[in-house]
Structure 1
Amino acid sequence: MSPRKLGTITIGQAPRADITPILDAALPPALPRQHVGLLDGLDRDAIAHRFGPRPGHPVLVSRLLDGGSVTVDKERAEAVIQERVTQLEDEGCTTILLLCTGRFDQLTTRAAALIEPERILAPSLPALAAGRQVGILVPLAEQIASEGEKWRALERRPIFAAASPYDGDEAPLVAAARSLRDRGAELLMTDCMGFCERHREVAREASGLPVVIANAVIAKLVAEIV
């Protein structure tokens, strides 16, 4: 059996100062890990040239090393995600974790286990919700249409609100959490790996509802299989 090694891929730039500590707290300390990003080594002009959003096309939002956020075209990003998957497998990673909750249909590996959070969260949420009305927090309003279909297994159609985890202003998150509560949500789910424990506390205090943080769930589950 090959030595175990975890690779992670962020849509932004690696390492992710917001997510890596959550993984480190859950994973075995001795487990080798390697972090890469789609936008590593690129400045904003290069990012805009290669991955700039196109009108009417799905987008993803992620974090740069300077702490700022960036929005990229999802279809253009997917091809580079596959390149990073292949790179990590070539460098000995036996498990590869995508640090993104977006839905992708074309990613493959030769032998490494590829973990796409969407494929875990989407079928798990109905069981966690147990019939309750779910409110979904997304970073960008335009993602409500492009990413909303993945939650179709829920008994009740989810309701959505947008608030970015990357802008440092908690007021939009407070407003979004309260809006979801006032519209009938009984449980909140974050549809972005950038939402962390601080965001859980803000949203929970604002709404009085339980809040499921995507990266916390994934970190705990990955720790069970690496």
Structure 2
Amino acid sequence: MAEVKKLGTVTIGQAPRPDVTPILERHLGDRVELLQVGVLDGMTKQEIAASLSPGPEHYVLTSRLANGDAVVMAREKIAPVLQQKIDWLEELGCRQILVLCTGVFDGLTTKKARLLEPDVLLAPIVAAMVRGMRFGVLVPLVEQEEALAEKWRHCGLDPFIAAASPYDFREKQALAACMELKGQADIVLLDCMGYTEAMRAFVARHTGLPVILSNALMAKVISEMI
């Protein structure tokens, strides 16, 4: 019988992630035991707002709490806690650790485990897939648009970006984003690990375009590594 390997996952919200976990399990099957931790585990929404809220100078991130509520944080404030969670998963025996965020983090490290960062792995893959096409990107927050556009410009792309949150889903906002993308893109990336297959179907239906789901692509990449 094949050995079941441990895959540690770190969400920048609270674990477990019922939105992302089924997508990972579909592609990884029973070869992997998922150990899930979250940067915000044990914190209340009020505590998060008081200590982790972004200012105008911060790189803005969003995620979800265990009860499904959306929260907004500063990357610079959560980065030290994220590193602590990575260290803990490595101590638990995880030899591969997945960060459940497509945002850009600098300086995350492990001792021996392989750190799987969507920003590092997915960006060059997606860039190769969409080269020569009009590239549309859906992000959760308007406040993230410029930072994430810069990420893709580093890959040689000039994306058209629209915003609609997977955590605080509003159909009117999502439809407006789809209409923007429909006129400006040939293919769309859902650039957040919180988007689901249902959201992919929604965007595909209302734009008529092929849609790349970040967490599904990440799960497929990881499945080839395990």
Common fold, TM-score beyond 0.5? yes
Q: CA deviation at 1:66?
A: 0.6
**Which amino acid is 1:165 matched to?**
P
Describe the shift of the 1:212–1:50 C-alpha distance in structure 2 as closer, same or farther (beyond 3 A): same
**Which amino acid is 1:94 matched to?**
R
Map of 1:220 onto structure 2: 220
Cα-to-partner distance string for 1:42-63 (whole Å, 9 max, x where unaligned): 1111111221112231110001
Cα-to-partner distance string for 1:122-177 (whole Å, 9 max, x where unaligned): 11112111310101111011111122211125554111111101113232122102
**Which amino acid is 2:199 matched to?**
H
Give the SS at the match of 2:26.
helix
Q: Does 1:69 align with 2:59?
A: no
1:144-155 correspondence to structure 2 within 5 Å = 144-155=145-156
Map of 1:60 onto structure 2: 61
**Which amino acid is 2:175 matched to?**
V
**Which amino acid is 1:122 matched to?**
A
Give the whole-Å Cα distance in 1 for the aligned partners of 2:224 and 2:205.
Answer: 30
Map of 1:26 onto structure 2: 27
Percent identity, please.
45
Deviant stretches of 4+, over 2 Å: 153-156, 168-171
**Which amino acid is 2:99 matched to?**
L
Count of residue pairs the alignment pairs up: 224
Give the whole-Å Cα distance in 2 for the aligned partners of 1:71 and 1:99.
Answer: 15
Point out where structure 1 has 5 or more consecutive residues left out of the alignment: none
Give the whole-Å Cα distance in 1 for the aligned partners of 2:215 and 2:45.
Answer: 26
Give the whole-Å Cα distance in 2 for the aligned partners of 1:222 and 1:156.
Answer: 25
Describe the shift of the 1:81–1:173 C-alpha distance in structure 2 as closer, same or farther (beyond 3 A): same
Map of 2:10 onto structure 1: 9
Q: Contact (CA 8 Å) 2:62, 2:72: kept in 1 or not?
A: yes
Point out where structure 2 has 5 or more consecutive residues left out of the alignment: none
Give the SS at the match of 2:67.
coil
Give the SS at the match of 1:27.
helix
**Which amino acid is 1:92 matched to?**
G
Give the whole-Å Cα distance in 2 for the aligned partners of 1:129 and 1:3.
Answer: 35
